[in-house]
Amino acid sequence: MKNLFKIVVGLIVISVLILSISSCKKDDDTGSSSDLIGAWQGKHIEGYTKINGVITDEWSDDGDDITFYSDYTCRGGYINHGSGHKMTWTYEKEYLNINCIDCKEILSAKVLKLTSSELIIEWSEKDGNEEYYEKATFTK
C-alpha cells in the first residue's frame, strides 16, 4: 500500500511539473528582438481611415522595405517617412516601437507574428472622431 501511495504521489508531482513548464512557454509567434535584425522586404500593407465611424479611405498595396540593425537603429521607407530619416527601434512585450528621430514621432506597433522569416505588425491611432489603422507584412 505504501508503494502504491508513493507511485500516485510521484505521478501527481510529475503531472504538476509538466503542466507548470508547458504553461510558462512563451508564444512562438512573437519571437524575440534578435529575430528582427536584418533586412525585411515589405510584402503587403493595408489599412483604413475612419471619420465618425465611417470608412473614408482604404488601401491595400505592396509594403516598403526596412532594415533593423543590432545597434537598435533602422532604415527604410517604413511608416511613411522615407529612407532618409534616422530611426531607432525597441521590441518589448510584443510591441515594436520605431522612433523617427528627425520627425519626432514614435510608432508603437503590435507584433502579431515574428519568426526568423516573417513579421506581421499592426498599429492604429485615434484622434477625436478620426481613426487610422494599418497592418503590414514583411519577409526576410
pLDDT digits (tens, 9 = 90+) for 95-124: 999 998 877 888 899 999 999 999 999 999
Does residue 13 carry a pLDDT above 90? no
- Pairing type for strands 54-61 and 95-100 reads unpaired
* Residue from 103, 96, 112, 101 nearest 33 by CA: 96
Vertex 104: Cα angle to 102 and 106 (nearest 5): 115
State the first-to-last Cα distance of the chain, in angstroms, to the nearest integer: 60
Structural contact between residues 99 and 88, judged by C-beta atoms closer than 8 angstroms: yes
- What SS3 state is found at 26? coil
Task: Give the residue with greater pLDDT, 13 vs 44.
Answer: 44
Task: Using pLDDT thresholds of 50, 70 and 90, give the confidence band for residue 84.
Answer: low
Structural contact between residues 43 and 139, judged by C-beta atoms closer than 8 angstroms: yes
pLDDT on residue 63:
85
pLDDT digits (tens, 9 = 90+) for 22-51: 444 444 577 888 999 999 999 999 999 999
Q: DSSP per residue over 80-128, as a string?
A: GS-TTS-EEEEEETTEEEEEETTTTEEEEEEEEEE-SSEEEEEEEEEET
